[in-house]
Amino acid sequence: MKTIGFIGTGVMGQSMASHFLKAGYDVHVYTRTKTKADALLSEGAVWKDSVAELASGVDTLITMVGYPRDVEEIYLGEQGILAHAKQGTYVIDMTTSTPSLAEKIYTVAKQKGIFSLDAPVSGGDVGAKEARLAIMVGGDKEAFEDCLPLLKIMGTNIVYQGSAGAGQHTKMSNQIAIATNMIGVCEAIAYAKKAGLDPETVLKSISTGAAGSWSLSNLAPRMIAGNVEPGFYVKHFIKDMGIALHEAEALGLKLPGLTLAKSLYEELAENGGEENGTQALYKLWDR
């Protein structure tokens, strides 16, 4: 697995691919907008002009794109990965996508002698830059074990969750937990301000106690500073919440907290915030 293909070099993908270059791997990249790969190309990555060209020349191919429709096109299209990857290739989709699509990709890949894993991540731009991502993996256990050394280049908390689609189901649990937590973080800061306290000082007390969370420690300071730069886009979070609600409905499960969070983020997006980071939700209170 010395030649790594990487498709998707956005906020997180760029850092993830860069770690492989630093570890001495040959990295081939493709993204729809070539300029988004400029930093990686300057580090030594090799540009490929299409998904098909990239897929045919690598040992392992990692994808980190935006939406399930992108994943489906990249993997299952006529010029896609599974039509052009050689037998024995490992493909790892790290996009947050639907469990059913992960299962479909796995089935088609297996028929072609290709090993497929769904491995969505959590940790945002900071986790990607520092190679501290949490990685949730579905697929065959043997393929997971083969790819574990590669996954360790990008993350620290890497857990095999089960068969194809299990990684995506786990990511839905992650997003459900984050969604309502973000409301709590926003309301905590709003309350501190309204009470005449210094929110930064309040954070020193509450971020290490029972209220502590990744969002409170990493995103609350951005909220207080008015920094809405995306570590994870609002538009992508809305997509994730939509997937989770769809899956929950299929399971006969009601998620009122997630429903509320999605409605608040949709309000934010309708007011021009879809390209902001998820911490921009605080705008709904700070106005």
Is residue 194 part of the annotated active site? The answer reads no
Instruction: Give the C-alpha distances (Å, rounded to integers) separating 203 from 185, 192, 219.
Output: 10, 10, 11
Q: Can you read off the two tokens belonging to residue 285?
A: 């209170």
- Candidates 171, 239, 262, 283; catalytic one: 171
Which residue in 81, 74, 126 sits closest to 97, CA to CA?
74
Instruction: Give the C-alpha distances (Å, rounded to integers) separating 124 from 15, 84, 191, 237, 278.
Output: 11, 31, 26, 11, 10
| One-character DSSP codes across 25-53 | -EEEEE-SSGGGGHHHHHHT-EE-SSHHH
Instruction: Give the C-alpha distances (Å, rounded to integers) separating 208 from 176, 202, 211, 217, 224.
Output: 22, 11, 7, 8, 18
Residues belonging to the active site: 171
